[in-house]
Structure 1
Amino acid sequence: MGRHSRTGPKPAGPDIEAALANEGGGRESVPPGPGSGRRRRAADTPAGADGHTPFQQTGHVRGGHPEQREPGGGWGTGPQQTVPRRQPLVGTRPLIPEPRREFVEAFDASPAPPAPRGPAVPSARPADPYSSVGEWPEQPSRGGAAAPAPTGKGRDGKGTRGRTFTGVAAAAVTTVLAVVVAGQVAHDSGGTSAAQPTGVDRDGTDGASRSDGRPVPKAAQAKPLSYAEKMAKAYPLSPELHGSGKFEAVPGAAKAPGRGHRYRYRIDVEKGLGLDAALFARAVQETLNDDRSWAHAGAMTFERISSGDPDFVITLASPGTTGDWCRKSGLDTTEDNVSCDSAATERVMINAYRWAQGSSTFGPDELFAYRQMLINHEVGHRLGHDHVSCRTPGALAPVMQQQTKSLDIDGIKCRPNAWVHPGS
């Protein structure tokens, strides 16, 4: 709804008393009749004996346009049932509510002349009947002289000027806050445009910045394991694994280092085991040519090749594949998951499960020695040596004893041993 005004003749005499009576009785009144459309000023009505100007039934409510009556109901419904003005009604509400007295008094008075423009800030904030802010104390202008007081009486012109001053004051406060914040940001950032949290010092004196020249720690690099460490380390492999049965030779060669009869061998590793083939090849070469092994005192020497015609093939295979090849020579390795020399073939089979996990007879702390024993024992069969059992309790077991199965044979318990000539 827009703003509308009322028009009608000025009540006089008894009409005033009737209107005032209705005003005090729940603000009930009769609708005004047609009038001239002009606003009636307070100066048009003489003051009473006590200096008070009676309320005037004016025809406007702060600005707007004259009320236009149109058919259709609501505002401007056309002719309405009216009650003669000289017959006040008791208990009958008017068809159109009248404005509140304080609103009419606030806006019907003559507006004060505008204050002179200039850079000076008004000395006092006028009271605004619609403002939620309290009165501000008077302040002198920057020129030293007090700003001219608003002319007029009562609440003249305070609606418009109050809002204007409120806007000016808000703009001034916003400007001051913007300057303070900008200065704080400029100080904290050291002249850069990046905003930083207030109260955090980033001048580099607290040592909390990565850009203050501190060395950045390098990522720790794992030290590669030595040969001995790799040989002492267990590797995961299932005792029930049955591999592809396909082999590939470990590339490269290793010359025979010693004297005596030279044996040439090749190393095959079953595909898909996931074990270190180069480590296995090195272990075979160093173990067989150790003076504590079959090469003792220059009796023989061993050379590894990857092509050509070897004397035998040392093969690292899964438990299932090892069983297949040992079965070709009439040997059953599945019961204890052991290795064998498949004499009917060219292959000396090393069970990959035992190579990876060892045995309980040596334990986890002697995995290196167990792997050396495993090589010496199975190659010993290829060289023509049979199984031998320990005869002295507490002595080192012979290298050709089945040490993977047990160190206690016929009630004689011996100690684990990896070498053909352990005392050398």
Structure 2
Amino acid sequence: MRRTAGSDRKRRSVDPDQTSRTVDRARRAARRAAEADAHLANQETDVHRPVSGRPAPDQPLRARWDPIDEPGRPRADRGKDRKKQSAVGRFVTTYGWRAYAIPVLVVLTIVMIVLTVQSHQDGGSDRVVDSDPDAVRNTNVRDETTAIGAPPKSVPLEQLPAGVLPAGGPFTEKGAAGYHVVPGTTTRVGTGGQEYTYTVEVENGLASGDFGGDPTFAKLIDTTLANPKSWIGDGTVSFRRIDNGEPDFRVTLTSPDTTRQLCGYEIKLETSCYYPPESRVTLNEARWVRGATSYQGDDLGYRQYLINHEIGHAIGFEAHEPCKMNGSLAPIMMQQTFGTANSEIMALDPDMKANRDFVCNPNPWPFPER
């Protein structure tokens, strides 16, 4: 019997295991293909839009990427909690510690300028007789009946330590009665319209060797009054010495005993004064010879002070003055015989208006810078 091909195919049987394996291989291939597609998709996503919002490290930056536009990252509103700085705040921020130093330096500069101007105005080089209301001239001083310039009341000596007479050369404690005029005259000195005439006199009985003799005494009076630093310095007064007739005042060297009779002896210290009833400028020989503690051995300077101070009373400056500026030259009408510290001279005049702490330097002239 003849067999055909179709009949042979029908008779073949199908192997189930082989079929299962084939299906599994197909599934695995499909799964691998799907995983590969997913992997490629993920890589493309990472390149174009990273999870972090920034490009991957191995990728170039792209201008189209803007971190501000990323979702979930809102931009902070800087003006919400911040106040606008003032001009002062910006200045401090810019200059730091210098912003504080600059105003301080400006204030210090202004203070120094003010102090310098005040020092110049109050210093000893200024016209001291015009710096105080008390320094007003009494042109009728000759009409007074009591001594001018003498201590007004008793003061314990311990309050005037600088007023004690220094040790030194001898002098005559008590002279003889009367005075004698030292011969000699001068031409007018100074340009002031008010001329004062004066004589130079010495008490009788004084030992000439103690004070240097009459001519030496008279010469120092003349040269002192002719000095531009003396009272002629401001052009108000002038002086001329005479040796006969009636002078405006008599510059007289007197013993301590006579001085006490004319000037008083309220305090037990050697002093000098102007005695109007006799128009006598009384210069105590004890002071002329030994000087004053405040002048520290400068006998010439003290004698010039003594002349100018007491003649200052004779031409009308009755009141005494305090030290007006600490460390400056003392006013000529300050009682420098008793010291140049206000704390000392104010013991003589407690009502004097002055700073008790001020201390001046000795000064023998009314106009020391002329």
TM-score between the two structures when normalised by the length of structure 1: 0.42
Give the number of the structure with larger relative contact order, counting CA–CA contacts within 8 Å between residues 6 or more apart.
Answer: 2
TM-score between the two structures when normalised by the length of structure 2: 0.48
